[in-house]
Chain A
C-alpha cells in the first residue's frame, strides 16, 4: 500500500492484497441485494473498475476498503433496479471522498456478534432470518413452506425481523 497518499502508484502485489482483503465483503454486499451470482459478479467487478478509473482521485488509501464496499453497494443497487426493469443511469458513481463509514460492519467477526444477537429474537424471526441468510437463492415461497407461514407474510415479516435485529445490534454498539 502506498504511503504517500498517491493511490495511483499502487503495484500489483498491493492490488492483490486489496482483493484478498475486500473481495469477500464486496461479494457479500452485492448478494445482500438479492442479485444473482452473475449480476453480483458484475457489481463487484464494476467496483474494482471504478477504483481503477478513479485512482488519481483517491486521497486516503486507508479508506479504500470503505470506498470499495460503498461503491459495490452502489453498483449492486443500480443492477438490482435494472433487473426490475427500471431505467437507470450507469454513469453516476459515489463521491470518492465520501465512503460510507458504516461499511465497516461488513466483516466476519462482526457477523458472528450479530449471530449471537439473533439468538435473542423469538420465532419466527430467528428461523426466518437464519433461512434467509444461509440460503441466498431461496425464494419466499420456499421459506414459507419451511416455516409454515403464508407466502405473502414472508417479506413484511423479514423486514420487521431485520429491523428488530438491527435495533438490538445498534443498542449493543451504542
Chain B
C-alpha cells in the first residue's frame, strides 16, 4: 500500500482538506475539451542535433533564458495520421507563448487551434506551416490541426509553468 494513498484516505476519513469547488468545476469543464472523431498524436523523438547527448534531452530539456526573463521549454514533436506537429512553449511576463510548425503542409484551408482549458485561439498556418499564439494562461496546453477531409489531429496535453 502506497504511503500517499494511506495519507489521502486518512484526510478523506477526517473530512480534512476537501476538494475546492474550483477544482471540481474545472474537472467538469474538461468534458468540453474532447475532440470527437479526433486522432491523438503521440510524442515522437526529435532527431538528435549535433553535440547533444541524447534525443530525450533534446526533446524535453528545459532551458532557462534568464536574460529575457522567460522560461523556455524545448521543442516537442507529435505525430499521427501522416502529420507532424512541433511545439515550442515559453512563459514570459506570466503569459504563455506557443509556437510551432505542422508538416507536411496541411493545405490552404487548414486551421491550427491552440487550446488551454480556459481559452482556445485559432491560427491559419503560414506558407511554411508555422503558427504562433501569445497571451495564454500558463498551465495545460494542446494543439489541434483541422484539415478539410481529414479527422482533426490533436497533440497530447502538456504542462507549462514558469
Closest to B73 in A: A90
* Among B1, B24, B59, B156, contact of A170 (Cβ-Cβ < 8 Å): B1
* A87 lies within 8 A of B14 (CB): no
CB–CB A133/B40 < 8 A: no
- What is the size, in residues, of chain A's interface with B at 8 Å between Cβ atoms? 68
Closest to A133 in B: B10
- Chain B contacts of A136 at CB under 8 A? 11, 16-17
Q: Could you tell me the distance between the alpha carbons of A19 and B21 in the complex, rounded to whole angstroms?
A: 11
Pick the residue among A31, A53, A76, A112 that contacts B13 (CB under 8 A). Answer: A112
Please tell me if the beta carbons of B2 and A108 are within 8 angstroms of each other in the complex: no
Task: Map CB proximity to A onto B28-67 as digits: 1 under 8 Å, 0 otherwise.
Answer: 1011011000001001000000000000100111100000
* Inter-chain contacts of B117 with A (CB < 8 A): 45, 49
A134:B161 contact, CB within 8 angstroms:
no
Q: How far is the CA of A19 from the CA of B19 in the complex (A)?
A: 11
A67 part of interface (Cβ distance < 8 Å) = no
Whether A4 sits at the interface, judged by CB under 8 Å, is no
Docked-complex contact A29 and B18, CB < 8 angstroms: no
Residues of A27-59 at the interface with B, using a CB-CB cut-off of 8 Å, are 27-29, 31-33, 37, 40-42, 44-46, 48-56
> Are the C-beta atoms of A169 and B1 separated by less than 8 Å?
yes
**Are A31 and B28 closer than 8 Å at their CB atoms?**
no
- List, in ascending order, chain B residues with CB within 8 A of A133's CB: 7, 10-11, 14, 16
CB-based contact B8/A25 at 8 Å? yes
Residue from A20, A48, A55, A106 in contact with B5 in the complex, judged by beta carbons closer than 8 Å: A106
Measured CA separation A136–B1 after assembly (Å): 20
Interface residues on chain B, size class: 35 or more
- For chain B, residues 56 to 99, give those with C-beta under 8 angstroms from any C-beta of chain A: 56, 59-62, 76
A interface: dominant SS: helix
Contact B158 A105, beta carbon cutoff 8 Å: no
B154: nearest chain-A partner, CB-CB:
A53
A81 touches B (CB below 8 Å): no
- Chain B min CB distance to A76 (Å): 8
A111 and B156 contacting across the interface, CB-CB below 8 Å: no
A15 touches B10 (CB 8 A): no
CB distance from A84 to the nearest CB of B (A): 14
Assembled-state Cα–Cα distance A19/B60 (Å): 31
With an 8 A cutoff between CB atoms, is A154 at the interface? no
CA of A50 to CA of B30 in the docked complex: distance in angstroms?
10
Whether the Cβ atoms of A42 and B16 lie closer than 8 Å is no
Partner of A107, one of B7, B9, B154, B157: B9
The listed residue (A12, A41, A111, A166) touching B3 by CB distance below 8 A is: A166
A56 to B22, CA, bound (A): 27
Whether A102 contacts B5 by the Cβ 8 Å rule is yes
Nearest A-chain residue to B117, judged by Cβ:
A45
| A residues at B contact (CB < 8 Å) | 12, 15-16, 19-20, 23-29, 31-33, 37, 40-42, 44-46, 48-56, 69, 73, 76, 79, 82, 87-91, 93, 100, 102-103, 105-115, 118, 129, 132-134, 136, 162-163, 165-166, 169-170
